[in-house]
Amino acid sequence: MGFTRVGVEPEGLAVSPDGKIVVGTSETTNMAHFIDTATKKTVANVLVPARPRMAAFSPDGGEVWVTSEVGGGVSVIDAATHKIVGHVGFEVAGLRSENIQPVGVNFTRDGKLAFVSLGPANRIAVVDVKTRQVEKYLLVGQRVWHGGFTPDDKYFLSVNGVSNDVSIIDVGALKVVKSVQVGESPWDVAIVPGAKVLGAKVLGAKP
């Protein structure tokens, strides 16, 4: 057991594919902290835009994407050099910029697409990882903070905290195919590997 000192109001955690590095975000300090899991020492502190919420490693471990809720975008950090190498911004017609609040970020297994949950914008942004451009905005339920892919990457489940439902997205078609009512104020989803058929039956997705 050990402790690693980070910034004020630690929030999100991401583990590198090889398990050697953990990235933690500190909302008030506006930093992403790179922590060596063997030594439990912080090896880098990266300043990012306001209120970083979550971090995610790309499947190949080369990049870390950090969402900034108040900053309204995603910082792309080189996992080896700890330098910011890119930025993903969002703009939705008819919405004020302050209503676009990215929190969750999930990569497809092939690393080609990132699905970013935009909070009260009520949308999932589908981002081309290579170009860092938004391919499409998908309208989902109210206040989406997080989501997750089924093990086969066929569906993405958007968890909508205010409308109390889950939007099921067909990843191939980039289309919302169903909305399923759940309990009050859902926050995130955990998908059990190997439970594809059961999940399809329970959630109403087409197998």
pLDDT at res. 154: 95
Q: Could you check whether 1-89 and 103-207 share the same CATH topology?
A: yes
pLDDT tier for residue 10 given thresholds of 50, 70 and 90: confident
Q: 1-89 sits in which CATH class? A: mainly beta
Identify the H or E element spanning 75.
strand 73-78
Tell me if residue 116 falls in helix, strand or coil.
strand
Q: Which two tokens stand for residue 40?
A: 């439990």
Per-residue pLDDT band at 195 (split at 50, 70, 90): low
Predicted confidence at residue 204, as pLDDT, reads 40
Statement: the pTM of the whole predicted model exceeds 0.85: yes
Q: pLDDT band for position 197 (50/70/90)?
A: very low
User: Does the pLDDT at position 199 exceed 80?
Assistant: no
Q: Domain locations in the chain?
A: 1-89, 103-207
In this prediction, residue 1 carries a pLDDT of 57
Starting at the earlier edge strand, list the strands of the sheet with 42-47: 10-15, 21-26, 31-36, 42-47
- Find, among 166, 191, 160, 169, the residue nearest to 181 by Cα: 166
Question: What is the structure's pLDDT at 143?
Answer: 96
Residue 148, judged by CB atoms within 10 A of its CB (0-12, 13-18, 19+), counts as middle
Q: CA 94 to CA 100: how far, in whole Å?
A: 11
Identify the band that residue 200 occupies on the pLDDT scale cut at 50, 70 and 90.
very low
> Which of 129, 86, 92 has its CA nearest to residue 107?
129
Token couple for 86: 């890119």
Q: How many CB atoms lie within 10 A of CB 85?
A: 12
Q: What DSSP designation does 185 have?
A: S
Residues 137-155: pLDDT tens digits?
999 999 999 999 999 999 9
**CATH C-level class of 103-207:** mainly beta
pLDDT digits (tens, 9 = 90+) for 52-85: 999 999 999 999 999 999 999 999 999 999 999 9
